[in-house]
Chain A
Amino acid sequence: MTDIITKIEKIDLPDKDRANIEDDLLRHIAGPSRKYKIWIGVLVFIIAVGAFAYVRQLKYGLIVTAMRDYTSWGIYISNFVFFVAVSLVGSLVSSILKLSHATWATPLNRISEIIAVSAIMSAAIIIIIDMGRPDRFFNVFLYGRLQSPIIWDVIVIGTYLVISFLLLFISLLPDIGLCRDRLVELPGWQKKMYRTLAFNWQDKPEQFEIVKKISGILGIMVIPVAFAIHTITSWLFATTWRPGWDSTNLGPYFVSGAFMVGASCIIIAMYFIQKYLRLQEYITDKHFDNMGKLLVLLSLVYLYFNINEYLGPLFRMVGVEGEHITELFAGKYAPMYWLVQVGGLILPITLLIFKPFRKPFPIMIVSFLVLVGAWLKRFLIVIPSLQHPYLPIQDVDESYMHYIPTWEEWAITLGSFAGALLIISVLIKLFPVLPIWEIKNEKKLIKAT
């Protein structure tokens, strides 16, 4: 990893002065365009459908889902794992790359932090949706048992949410100050919001020092917490005896998969932000190229852990583990399994090795493959394992034997995607999507420092 990171050159911003940079990067905050309104409308509509499905679930219970006594966790849980994975992206770019002095990645810091905040918020909401008794959510605090991995997850996700939020907000302070000072033609509420959120930011050198210091500390703190959220999420599975879950490999397997899907999310976000906010001068082909190389590296690590995860049981082929492997490799989940492993892992690695595929459009498509594969992979991690208990499934209704999610589950899941995208879209609209002060800093355009 360091190899890629240390070799990269500084981005070559066209020689612009600070006013120009500010103009470019503040431009999109002006009143919402028609396209933006339609986009938000579509997202709100999808969320409304999901909310309607959830109201039905609240009314009738989890019976509206396809989950039953054997497949007792379904796509809500796999979606939760997916969003926890995506949220790791914040630590990947804004922290690990920053600490490695990979200055080319500076323009991507804020995008990744925004994605992280929105993903972790979505994960927290989804896990509440999965609860049979959401009305008793506070029992988790009233009666929480530290022995339970779920409580570890609650603690660590809460911590990560706070750190991610702070990481985003602290580094946003100078730019909010800029918004307050320069965007004078906005509606009153928005100006008031900048005034309040800027916390009397004055562009003073001491203030920059404090922001840098806090960001530095948070950037280091967030790494173990990010590893912890996904490792502990993997322990929700690894602490049981289910085939495919009962594995010491699960922690690194999950973490490496999360880094891969996180990188693909950033690439997709980069593509659309660069295109629709006309920021081609700041998010350049060089960024796509570097992110592509990084994605190959992360995918190779994930491939390694995949081989690790499946080879042992595949070699032994005994008992419920053998049944589980057979189901994945040649049984009813085989089409999905091979689609994920080939289309979402091997194909992206192969394509991205070649430079032409690291151009913005092709790499966006490839990243999309990775993203879809990653979602389906979490389906394959959660559901088939539950369908191979030690004691045979007998004596139950036909519906207990398989799991095909109902429209309510799909609606809620799509709603969660729309919700995450809505948070990202609103944050991008309200705040500079690239860290203006950091970019200026790199160009030595901040006089104070």
Chain B
Amino acid sequence: MRKNQIKQSARRKFFKTFITGSIGAVAGKELYSTGTTNDANGPDEKITALSSDGKLIKVLKSQVEHMHHAPVTPSEARKGIPGKKFVLIVDLGKCRNARKCIEGCEKHHHLTPDRPFIKVLKMKDNPRSSYYWMPKKCFQCDNPPCVKVCPVGATYKRTDNIVLIDNNRCIGCRFCMAACPYSARVFNWGEPQPAEGYDKPYSPETSVPSKVGTVEKCDFCPDVLRENKLPPCITSCPNGVLYFGDANDDAVTNGEETVRLSELLREKAAYRYMEDLGTEPNVYYLPPVDRLFPFKDTNAESNT
């Protein structure tokens, strides 16, 4: 859509992964939602675009330009990016608590350190085992306890595996925080710092600007995914700990190498945290074996 030229082939391209190929049809969602009102009469030039439900539609060219940078609307943000099933893999053998993912996340979401979306926890599974670092963010569960309890549907599950929050609807009851067994959610207890240099309107896909009295959490950065880029936590990790990708493509990447998801999970004996709870997380952990770094307790210095 950037080039205003989306032809029939776009449909096929659409389902290609952002890792292996480029798409671009996603913005068709925006076009579909905003630009279909005056179809035949206008003197302006029209273009053909692909809507989220796979239909080709004609839209005014002027409106395409206008809509280009705006994040998707709250109602669009409920649907999810078509054809995607996002997953995250954390290789515990590689993490040395560099905390760059936290920095990248804070920068992207305009967060302050008191409400981190990502935490790196110092873990030890049994007394005779050794410590390891466990980066933890929202697990984007397929059976999310937080979504079940929300009284107003402010938090919801999308088709692309992402669990998102509409901060314009959240009433701040914090039931989701009590329900989440992973303590993934943070609350804006006070008025959040204004997001400097950010002038786009609010969208659940960006959760910027933050709103007082509402819940926030890691969202896999769907705004970035729509641009076929990797979330900032993945790209800012210096050790390639985090792999991200689309389960439908069976491919994940940590920014350096791209590997088959199924093979990685199988061969490295991946597990999901507290599988017993039945929450069906979309974040997998690879056991902390074959460590890249010896464990060093760096939290003592960096603890805020």
Q: Answer yes or no: are A and B bound together in one complex.
A: yes
A interface residues, Cβ below 8 angstroms from B: 60-63, 65, 67-70, 72-73, 130-133, 136-137, 139-140, 142-145, 147-151, 154, 236-237, 239-242, 386, 389-397
23 inter-chain pairs at a CB distance below 8 angstroms, sorted by A residue, are: A61-B190, A62-B187, A65-B189, A69-B187, A131-B171, A132-B213, A139-B171, A142-B152, A143-B153, A145-B153, A148-B148, A150-B151, A154-B151, A236-B175, A239-B149, A239-B179, A240-B145, A241-B277, A390-B181, A390-B183, A394-B119, A394-B121, A397-B114
Question: Is B299 among interface residues, defined by CB-CB distance under 8 A?
Answer: yes
Closest chain B residue, CB of each to CB of A62: B189
Question: Is B199 among interface residues, defined by CB-CB distance under 8 A?
Answer: no
Question: Are A150 and B173 CB-contacts (below 8 A) given A73-B178, A391-B182?
Answer: yes
Could you tell me if A395 and B116 are in contact, using CB atoms closer than 8 angstroms? yes
Question: Are A150 and B304 CB-contacts (below 8 A) given A62-B172, A63-B190, A397-B114?
Answer: no
Question: Are A145 and B152 CB-contacts (below 8 A) given A61-B190, A397-B114, A397-B304?
Answer: yes
B interface residues, Cβ below 8 angstroms from A: 114-116, 119-123, 136, 145, 148-154, 169-175, 177-179, 181-183, 185-191, 212-215, 273-274, 277, 299, 303-304
Residue in B116, B169, B304 whose beta carbon sits within 8 Å of that of A139 in the complex: B169
Could you tell me if A395 and B174 are in contact, using CB atoms closer than 8 angstroms? no
Give bound CA distance, A425 to B188, whole Å.
39
Give bound CA distance, A72 to B273, whole Å.
23
Closest chain B residue, CB of each to CB of A145: B153
Could you tell me if B170 and A133 are in contact, using CB atoms closer than 8 angstroms? yes
Lowest 7 A-B CB distances belong to which pairs? A132-B172, A132-B213, A63-B190, A150-B151, A63-B189, A148-B151, A143-B152
Could you tell me if A145 and B151 are in contact, using CB atoms closer than 8 angstroms? yes
Question: Are A133 and B172 CB-contacts (below 8 A) given A61-B213, A241-B277?
Answer: yes
Give bound CA distance, A157 to B115, whole Å.
34
Nearest CB on B from A56, distance (A): 12
Could you tell me if B179 and A240 are in contact, using CB atoms closer than 8 angstroms? yes
Give bound CA distance, A72 to B174, whole Å.
7
B residues in contact with A242, CB < 8 Å: 178
A residues in contact with B151, CB < 8 Å: 140, 144-145, 148, 150-151, 154
B residues in contact with A396, CB < 8 Å: 114, 119, 304
Question: Are A133 and B182 CB-contacts (below 8 A) given A60-B190, A148-B150?
Answer: no
Give bound CA distance, A389 to B181, whole Å.
7
Could you tell me if B122 and A394 are in contact, using CB atoms closer than 8 angstroms? yes
Closest chain B residue, CB of each to CB of A237: B178
New A-B pairs, 13, CB < 8 Å, besides A70-B183, A140-B151, A389-B182? A61-B212, A61-B213, A62-B189, A63-B191, A73-B178, A144-B152, A145-B151, A148-B151, A240-B149, A386-B178, A391-B183, A393-B183, A397-B304
Closest chain B residue, CB of each to CB of A152: B151
Nearest CB on A from B96, distance (A): 15
* Interface majority SS (helix, strand, loop, mixed), chain B: loop
Could you tell me if B177 and A69 are in contact, using CB atoms closer than 8 angstroms? yes
A residues in contact with B172, CB < 8 Å: 62, 131-133, 136
Could you tell me if B175 and A136 are in contact, using CB atoms closer than 8 angstroms? no
B residues in contact with A144, CB < 8 Å: 151-152
Residue in B120, B170, B186 whose beta carbon sits within 8 Å of that of A69 in the complex: B186
Residue in A61, A240, A392 whose beta carbon sits within 8 Å of that of B189 in the complex: A61
Closest chain A residue, CB of each to CB of B149: A148
Give bound CA distance, A72 to B172, whole Å.
11
Residue in A62, A139, A151 whose beta carbon sits within 8 Å of that of B213 in the complex: A62
Could you tell me if B145 and A241 are in contact, using CB atoms closer than 8 angstroms? yes
Closest chain B residue, CB of each to CB of A141: B152
Give bound CA distance, A73 to B174, whole Å.
8
B residues in contact with A70, CB < 8 Å: 183
Closest chain B residue, CB of each to CB of A236: B175
Could you tell me if B171 and A148 are in contact, using CB atoms closer than 8 angstroms? no
A residues in contact with B170, CB < 8 Å: 132-133, 136
Could you tell me if B183 and A61 are in contact, using CB atoms closer than 8 angstroms? no
Give bound CA distance, A335 to B182, whole Å.
29
Give bound CA distance, A435 to B23, whole Å.
77
Could you tell me if B173 and A132 are in contact, using CB atoms closer than 8 angstroms? yes
Closest chain B residue, CB of each to CB of A68: B189
Nearest CB on B from A153, distance (A): 9
Nearest CB on B from A398, distance (A): 10
Nearest CB on B from A247, distance (A): 15
Chain B CB within 10 Å, residue with most, of A131, A154, A396: A396
Could you tell me if A143 and B145 are in contact, using CB atoms closer than 8 angstroms? no
Closest chain A residue, CB of each to CB of B170: A133
Question: Are A395 and B149 CB-contacts (below 8 A) given A68-B189, A132-B173?
Answer: no
Could you tell me if B169 and A136 are in contact, using CB atoms closer than 8 angstroms? yes
Give bound CA distance, A29 to B107, whole Å.
66
Give bound CA distance, A57 to B179, whole Å.
25
Closest chain B residue, CB of each to CB of A154: B151
Question: Are A240 and B213 CB-contacts (below 8 A) given A139-B169, A145-B153, A389-B183?
Answer: no
Nearest CB on B from A296, distance (A): 35
Give bound CA distance, A241 to B144, whole Å.
12
B residues in contact with A236, CB < 8 Å: 175
Closest chain B residue, CB of each to CB of A397: B114
